[in-house]
Structure 1
Amino acid sequence: MASTNRPADPLAKGTIATAKQGFRDLFVWDQRVVVRNDYGEEHCEWQRPEPLKNPISLFAQLSLKDWLYFLVGFLAWTADAFDFHALSIQTTKLAAYYKQSNTNITTAITLTLLLRSIGAAFFGLAGDKFGRKWPMVLNMIILGLLQVATIYAKTFQQFLAVRSLFGLFMGGVYGNAIAMALENCPVNARGLMSGILQQGYSFGYVLAACVNLGVGGETNTWKIVFWVGAGFSIAVGFLRVLFPESKQFIEAKKAGHTQKGSGAFWAETKVMLAKEWKMCVYCIILMTWFNYYSHTSQDSYTTFMKQSKHLSSAGATRASILMKSGACVGGTILGYTSQWFGRRRTIICAALISGCLIPAWILPTTERGLSASGFMIQFFVQGAWGVIPIHLNELSPPAFRSSFVGITYQLGNMISSPSAQIVNAVAEATMITTSKGTKSPAYGPVMGVATAIIAIGIAVTTAVGPEKKGRHFEEAGPIGASLEIPKDIDNGSITEKAGAETVEIADTKRNDEKV
């Protein structure tokens, strides 16, 4: 964006004022952008969006090293999604294997989502404190080992226990992967790269569905899909070992943003929470809507096609693959478009269009019809999601990009964790007559009503929220590096407060200056 040098009012303070300002800004074509000067000071100005640039030219702005960081982050997020969807797309197989209902099997999905926020907090703070590399390596290898442990779970109780533990470590992937991938991208390429990056989730679903299609519909074949997922995760972990620490994290330290003791780390964390708690709450609410959005519209869709539309296992899997291919395309295109159209406007339009497509999504009875309608609705569902990685990075406190993004995302996951279980329970308690005259759980109506409510919720929440498009968050140092160091002029010492610690540093230049 080229600056118009037109100053804008600063970002509003207070919940009501922020909501009013955010809603008004939706109807102003020029965008309120947070600009950071050479002294680290931020101000707002109105900027007119530039026409979208050729994607090839945006790709060319990334160096080879930038691409490597991005691809490793993308693969980590893809492997994470593969491991999760290895369960959700095989619900009926696992129900037969453990002799449980579909609703009982989805308890594992609920437990996984419920515990992801704990892993996000631990590994996110570790990523912001120590760097992106080793927390991600540890995450990916343990995820692979837990996939293997799932295969050897003999009882349903063991299966649930392993999936709960899986959720703890799964939660740590998103924040570190997103921060590492996007902080190395040029500012005007971030919308496009955000859209591509987020679709690692959909791509992981597509890969898991392809493997599931390849192994066939026999009950015990679910284990093969989990073996593939285990190998994928462990391979990404070892791949990350081969690359150095994130460039921006290293450069921040070289520029003088040295990490201080644990006292400074927790002191700055407390300061951030005191200052940004409203932003934290807002992002958690937004991520709760978004996680309901994706899980409600996809986790039970394969089961819906099998039981309500009478598709074969292979036919339902093929339709699921095409559905998530639409997600990959939509997320990339709309994430790219958000660089010109604005983050919030893109999310709102995508959510409302997806709501309008719901009848076409659940009414078809053939594989082709369900594939086409699934493609279109996921184009807009994941199109809205494609904006989220960069939108959250821009809203987050700069030093906390890994932990803030990961924790808010996973807390939203935790709150929305019963989504698949709720859909299955309500659907199984409500029977409808299918096109073949048989009784079937009402998966279609339940998913349709729930998705419509969620789409409206996303549109309203986004409309009254803030936007900090174009923010230079990559210039911030690690947590604990930005605490102010006041100087005592009278005695010529510097007092550095880091938690409970106080360090007196003598000013050796004082006598020289007097001379």
Structure 2
Amino acid sequence: MDRMSTSLTEAKVAARTGPAEVAAWCALVALLDGFDTQAIAYVAPVLAEAWRVPAASFGLVFAAGLLGLTVGTLFVGPYADKVGRRPVIIASTLVFGGFALATAYANSVPQLLALRFLTGIGLGGAMPNLIALTSEVSSPATRARMVTIMFSGYPLGAVVGGVVSAALIGKYGWQVVFYLGGGLPLLIGLGLLLRLPESPSFGASTAAPAHAPVEAARSVVELFGVEFRRTTLLVWLAYFCTLLVIFTMTAWLPTLLKQKGMSVSVAIVTTALLNLGGVFGGALLSVATRRFHALSLIALSYAAAVGGIVVVASGDSAQLLMIATFLTGAGLVGSQLLMNGVVTELYPTRIRVTAVGWALGVGRVGTVAGPLIGGFFLSRGWGYLAMVAWMAVPAAVAAIAVLSLRRLKARTTGAH
């Protein structure tokens, strides 16, 4: 199909799809994204027993999936700045659905590692474009809140994955998680073809992508121009630290809690509460932005999450751990949801997906490093307290980075 006929098709789709429906479709993809990203952590304790392999060996499996996320976020996602949000979202959804479904047929750790990497590429390609498309169909006054609400689908998907895993793994086996996590995105992909429009901002600001790879590289360079350099570095530091902590906790907490003596179902539900807390925290923070500066709220929430991590590390009862995990997620995951919306306002349309994509990509470096660090610590005999407590340090660094970004934006605004 040539460029003109593609544009006409996209125009017809856009004419019958309003901003609320666009955000809903993006939220649905984000939900499936969260489900598939978290799925491997929920089945890891079961697979370790079934395949008779050490739990620490799943550190490489976690890292492989997250490395795929990094590749997709850095190199697939930003390509949409030149070819459009719609085709990249649809293609990415079909890719992660197909490889997630194939994961149900894995029978060894090497196969699992390869399939999680390929699934991750699709997951990573979708993420920044969901954020950018929702931002660009929203009004300036509601943009940050719409992105926060839309991307709440991601932690909600991880919660749904926890509920499904706890309820169905014992009855139908671990494969059922991937049957659902792969089959549903393939079905949703058909809906996206029919209903998801292209971004109006993209159509108005971008010429035909005759030299898309070259232009994409120039967009990355622009992130480090005089205007955006300090903003980019602080955003990247916050994303790296935040996603390192979130994914280390979600990857290893089910296994650590099981080793602490909890049942698999209780360990899964407790871990799911981290993301459920994130949905609650994101909604609360998005409302609070009507009265308070978003970056100030994010810094304060990160600081509160540090306290939550300490309680999770030192708590003994299941009830206390569940409450503390929920509140940690409200501060940590909720802040990250709002941060996604804030970042879209820091950069112009021409480099928005590149900016969000590379911020998420650098964050994904943290998601790869965190589970590997956790696996190393576990193999060295670290106990539950130390395995959780060390994550308070990068959470504190994220709070400092966002507070510095708030001060930088205040000085920049004052200078103008």
Instruction: Give the TM-score range, shorter chain.
Output: 0.7 to 0.9
Give the unaligned 5+ runs of structure 2. Answer: 1-15, 411-416
Question: 1:94 is matched with which residue?
Answer: 47
Asked if residue 303 in structure 1 is aligned to residue 255 in structure 2, the reply is yes
1:69-468 alignment runs, 5 A limit: 69-217=22-170, 221-249=173-201, 252=204, 258-259=207-208, 261-262=210-211, 265=215, 269=219, 272-273=222-223, 275=225, 276-308=228-260, 310-430=261-381, 442-448=383-389, 450-465=390-405
TM superposition shift of 1:273: 4.7
Question: 1:435 is matched with which residue?
Answer: none
Q: What letter matches 2:279 in structure 1? A: C
| 1:115-159 deviation line (CA, Å, top 9, x unaligned) | 323222333233111211111111111111101221222322122
Distance 1:131 1:266, change over 3 A: closer
In 1, distance between residues paired with 2:218 and 2:310? 49
Note if contact 2:302-2:332 (Cα within 8 Å) is conserved in structure 1. yes
Question: 2:4 is matched with which residue?
Answer: none
In 2, distance between residues paired with 1:274 and 1:311? 48
Work out which of the two has the higher radius of gyration on C-alpha atoms and give 1 or 2. Answer: 1
Distance 1:227 1:382, change over 3 A: same
Question: 1:23 is matched with which residue?
Answer: none
Q: What letter matches 2:384 in structure 1? A: Y
Distance 1:295 1:345, change over 3 A: same
- Which is further off, 100-109 or 410-419? 410-419
Q: What letter matches 1:453 in structure 2? A: V
Aligned residues: 392
Question: 2:5 is matched with which residue?
Answer: none
TM superposition shift of 1:313: 1.7
Note if contact 1:392-1:405 (Cα within 8 Å) is conserved in structure 2. yes
Q: What letter matches 2:114 in structure 1? A: A
Note if contact 1:423-1:447 (Cα within 8 Å) is conserved in structure 2. no
Note if contact 1:74-1:181 (Cα within 8 Å) is conserved in structure 2. no
In 2, distance between residues paired with 1:333 and 1:260? 40
Distance 1:244 1:178, change over 3 A: same
TM superposition shift of 1:279: 4.1
SS in 2 for 1:299: helix
In 2, distance between residues paired with 1:217 and 1:364? 28
Distance 1:420 1:399, change over 3 A: same
Distance 1:115 1:282, change over 3 A: farther
SS in 1 for 2:141: helix
TM superposition shift of 1:83: 0.7
Distance 1:228 1:270, change over 3 A: closer
TM superposition shift of 1:233: 1.5
In 2, distance between residues paired with 1:292 and 1:80? 18
Question: 2:18 is matched with which residue?
Answer: 65
Note if contact 1:302-1:320 (Cα within 8 Å) is conserved in structure 2. yes
Distance 1:352 1:273, change over 3 A: closer
Note if contact 2:243-2:367 (Cα within 8 Å) is conserved in structure 1. yes
SS in 1 for 2:188: helix
SS in 2 for 1:378: helix
Note if contact 1:111-1:163 (Cα within 8 Å) is conserved in structure 2. yes
In 1, distance between residues paired with 2:217 and 2:67? 28
Question: 2:8 is matched with which residue?
Answer: none
Give the unaligned 5+ runs of structure 1. Answer: 1-62, 432-441, 470-515
TM superposition shift of 1:357: 2.6
| 1:312-348 deviation line (CA, Å, top 9, x unaligned) | 1222233333443222101111133234311221111
TM superposition shift of 1:396: 2.7
| 1:209-250 deviation line (CA, Å, top 9, x unaligned) | 1110121447x7111001000012212222210125334246
In 2, distance between residues paired with 1:135 and 1:306? 39
Note if contact 1:82-1:205 (Cα within 8 Å) is conserved in structure 2. yes
Q: Give the structure with the higher percent helix.
A: 2
SS in 1 for 2:173: helix
Which contiguous aligned blocks of 4+ residues in structure 1 show a shift greater than 6 angstroms?
Answer: none
Distance 1:283 1:116, change over 3 A: same
SS in 1 for 2:289: helix
In 1, distance between residues paired with 2:106 and 2:51? 10
Q: What letter matches 1:454 in structure 2? A: P
Q: What letter matches 2:255 in structure 1? A: T
Q: TM-score, normalised by structure 1?
A: 0.70
Q: How well do the aligned residues superpose, as a CA RMSD in angstroms?
A: 2.6
- Which is further off, 123-132 or 278-287? 278-287
Distance 1:115 1:414, change over 3 A: farther
Note if contact 2:279-2:330 (Cα within 8 Å) is conserved in structure 1. yes
Note if contact 2:22-2:197 (Cα within 8 Å) is conserved in structure 1. no
| % same residue | 21
Question: 1:505 is matched with which residue?
Answer: none
Distance 1:366 1:64, change over 3 A: farther
